[in-house]
Amino acid sequence: MQRGVTLWFTGLSGAGKTTVCLEVARLLALRGVKAELLDGDEMRGQLTAGLGFSKEDRRKNTATAAYIARLLTRNGIIVLASFVSPYKSIRESARESIGSFAEVYVCCPLEECARRDVKGLYKKAFSGEIGQFTGVSDPFEPPEAPELVLHTDRETVDQCAARVVEFLETRGYIG
């Protein structure tokens, strides 16, 4: 048995949101649980191409993701939504829109995120080549009361994914 819910993974670029979501999706699939991953980078490449990183463009991107997540959630799917979503107001709007929603804060220090950066985005942001980069030249508003916090600088991917699955079990979303 499973009930639909959206787990909204938020955190800085490079914090490990997508990596953890992929492992959670793998673990859920092994149990026969229906889950879908909505990834911010993939959405920007497919559905919201052309949007930049202004607050308004981020709102539009998140609203599109929330709409898709709401449809999946109401049909009993567990949605693993991986988005930087740096603004509290935008995350709250997603929560209100979706309904069955849990915020997962993927917490990782900026220095560690920059160290992990394989795309070189932080280097460009620190040098000023990229503007409006979350955590560098644009703010990230950490969640005030997330349902779950993952510290990816201190916990392995396996540990984080196991904690997410345990959360789903204890909240009755999966049996």
Rg, Å, the chain Cα set? 15
79 vs 33, 49, 112, 171, CA distance in Å?
Answer: 11, 21, 27, 15
pLDDT tens-digit readout, 83-132: 999 999 999 999 999 999 999 999 999 999 999 998 888 988 888 888 78
Question: Would you mind telling me the total number of residues written for the chain in this entry?
Answer: 175
Q: Does 110 carry a binding-site annotation?
A: no
Tokens of residue 94, six digits: 């997603």
Q: What value does the mean pLDDT of the chain take?
A: 92
Of the listed 54, 82, 85, 93, which one is catalytic? Answer: 85
| pLDDT for residue 1 is more than 80 | no
How much of the chain exceeds pLDDT 90, in percent?
A: 72
- Give the model's pLDDT for residue 133: 83
Q: What is the mean pLDDT of residues 19-31?
A: 98
- Give the model's pLDDT for residue 58: 78
Give CA–CA dist 147/168, Å, rounded: 11
Q: Does 13 carry a binding-site annotation?
A: yes
How much of the chain exceeds pLDDT 70, in percent?
A: 94
Mark 46-64 as b/e (b = at least 16 C-beta within 10 Å). Answer: eebeebebeeeebbebbeb
Q: Does 168 carry a binding-site annotation?
A: no
pLDDT tens-digit readout, 48-95: 666 666 777 778 888 999 999 999 999 999 999 999 999 999 999 999
Decide if 85 is catalytic: yes
Please check whether residue 66 is in contact with residue 97, taking contact to mean a CB–CB distance below 8 angstroms: yes
Q: Does 18 carry a binding-site annotation?
A: yes
Cα torsion angle, 168, 171, 173, 175, sign: positive
Give CA–CA dist 97/76, Å, rounded: 16
Which pTM was predicted? 0.92
* Structural domains of the chain, with CATH: 5-170 (3.40.50.300)
Under DSSP, the state recorded for 77 is P
Q: Does 45 carry a binding-site annotation?
A: no
Q: For residue 120, how many other CB atoms are within 10 A of its CB?
A: 10
